[in-house]
Amino acid sequence: MDSNSFNPEELGHKWLTDTLTPDEKLRFEQWYADFNDEELLISDSQYFSAEQIKESILNQINSKIDENQAPKVKIYKLWRNLAAAAAVVLAVGAAVLYRAPILNLVDPVKQLTLTTNPGEYRQIYLPDGTHIWLSPATTLSYPEKFRGTLRNVDIEGEAYFEVKHDTDHPFVIQSGAVKTVVLGTSFDIQAYAHAKSIDVTVVSGKVGVSAKTGTTTEMLTANQRTVYQKTTASLIKENYPNAAKFLDRRKGIFDFNGASLAEVIHDLEVQYGTHITLSPGLTSKTFYGRLQTTNPINHTLDKLGKVMELRWEKQNGTYLLHP
C-alpha cells in the first residue's frame, strides 16, 4: 500500500474500530514521518487549529478506553491510537482530494430538510447563495454547508432554482430517477412522486440532465426541457418556447393560454393538494386566464367558474365542477 492508495475515510474508520493491521500501521506511520506539508485544511470545520482536532480525537480515544479497557491496557492503546490519530489528522492536509472525507469524519455536516404544505410557497437561500422557490407539497434536502467538489441536494415536488455560478463546484440535484447538473443558471424541476413524469425546464443558462437507467446526458439551454417518462424510463428532450412562464409560476401565478380544463384542474389539484372533479364534457373545454394559487381555493374556483360559466360545490372533501 503506498500513500496514493490511501483511503482516508476507510483508514479513519479502521482507527475508530481498532482494526488497523500491523502492516497498515507501519506504512501509515512511515508515511506520517515523511510528510512535510503542515497545511491543515480545516477552514470548513468547527476547529481552528490542528491542536484542537488532536485534542478532540484524544478525548474520544480516552473516553472509549475508559469505558472498555483496564488502566494498563489504556497506556498501550493510547500510544497506538494516538499514532493513528496523528496520521489521520495530518491526512487532512495531504491533498485537497481528501479534504471532504476527512472533514466529514471529524466534523460531519448536518443534513437539513424543508417541506412545504399543500397551498404553501416558500423561498430559501442555500449556503452558496443559490435561491430556490419551493412549490406546495415539496421536500428539499440539503446540507447545512457545502463541502467537497459538488453541491448536492435532493428534491421531491416542484422547485424553481437560481443557482449561484461556481465553475469549480457543480450543483447537482437528484430528483427521483433524474439527475440535473449545473454550474449556474435558472430552471424549474417538477418531480412529484405521484406524477407520471419528471420535467426539467431551462429558463436561462445551460444544464445537463441524465437518468439512472441511461448512459447519455441531455444538454439543455434556454427554452428547452427534458421529460422523463417513469413508465418507459425514457428521457426526451424538446423545445419549450414558453419557459419564461415559470418566473410567475414560482410565485403561484398560473397563466393559461388555451389550456384544456383538464390540465387546469390538474395544476390546481397539485397546488392545493386536493381532489377536483369535472362533469362529463368539460375536460376538453379550453381556458384563457390567470389564476393566483396563493389565494384560498374557493376564490380560485370562483374566478374559474365565472370565466367558464361553471358552478362548484364540495362533497366529502372533493370539489365538483358543473356547467
Instruction: For residue range 138-192, list pLDDT tens digits in order.
Output: 999 999 999 888 999 999 999 999 999 998 899 999 999 999 999 889 999 999 9
Does the structure show a pLDDT above 80 at 96?
no
Q: Within 13 Å, how many C-alpha atoms sit on residue 16's CB side?
A: 12
Strand residues in 46-150 grouped as ranges (E): 111-115, 122-125, 131-134, 139-143
* Model confidence pLDDT, tens digit, residues 19-45: 767 666 655 555 444 544 444 444 445
Average pLDDT of span 92-109: 59
Domain with CATH 3.55.50.30 in the chain: 252-322
pLDDT of residue 35: 46
Residue 209's contacts (CB-CB under 8 Å, 6 or more residues apart) are 178, 179, 180, 181, 200, 217, 218, 220, 226, 235
CB 154 within 8 A of CB 161: no
Specify the domain boundaries for CATH 2.60.120.1440 within the chain.
Answer: 111-245
pLDDT band at 284 (very low <50, low <70, confident <90, very high): confident
The Cα-based distances of 314 to 127, 128, 134, 275, 282 in angstroms read 43, 45, 28, 10, 17
- pLDDT at residue 303 is higher than 70: yes
Confirm if 182 and 163 have CB atoms less than 8 A apart: yes
Place of cell 500510544: 79
pLDDT at 97 over 80: no
Residue 219 bridge partners (DSSP): 208
Most confidently predicted of 157-171, 211-225, 277-291: 157-171
- pLDDT (0 to 100) of residue 75: 47
151 half-sphere exposure, CB direction, 13 A CA radius: 21
Q: What is the pLDDT of residue 120?
A: 93
Distance CA 128, CA 148 (A): 13
Angle at 237 between CA 232 and CA 241, to 5 degrees: 135
pLDDT at residue 92, rounded to an integer: 46
Higher local confidence (pLDDT), 83 or 316: 316
* Lowest-confidence segment of 91-105, 156-170, 181-195, 227-241 by average pLDDT: 91-105
What CATH number has the domain spanning 111-245?
Answer: 2.60.120.1440
CATH 3.55.50.30: does it fit domain 252-322? yes
